[in-house]
Amino acid sequence: MSNIKPRVRIPKSAKKGEVVEIKTLIEHKMETGQRKDKQGNKIPRKIVNRFECKFNGKLVLASDWHPAVSANPYLAFHFRAEDSGEFEFRWVEDGGAEFTKKAKLTVS
């Protein structure tokens, strides 16, 4: 899948101690391996099976995903902003392909 596109939405800045919402979405078909093509052949499974978020290199959130996750999975979570830094988001697909996105947060 060459047109897989991760998206992230975070505030550019926050006050120290403020809780901010982080939103992520990856455009991905999430093929479960259960469907068949027009010739009746099973379409091989290819899903994003792992998501990780790190802030300044420290793991903030990790989750394992399974075939029941919908196409174009969206995830939102909250983060308490204590220091300025950089988020790194990582999605891992069956077969080991990885997709990453980075975003900076400035804390005042």
What is the average pLDDT across 65-91? Answer: 96
Mean pLDDT of 73-101: 97
Mean residue pLDDT across the chain: 95
**What is residue 81's predicted lDDT score, i.e. its pLDDT?**
98
Residue 45 carries which DSSP code? P
Strand-pair partners of 18: none
pLDDT in tens, 7-45: 999 999 999 999 999 999 999 999 999 999 999 999 999
Please tell me the distance from the alpha carbon of residue 50 to that of residue 81, in angstroms, as a whole number: 24
Strand ranges (E), the chain? 5-9, 13-14, 19-27, 48-55, 58-64, 74-80, 85-93, 98-107
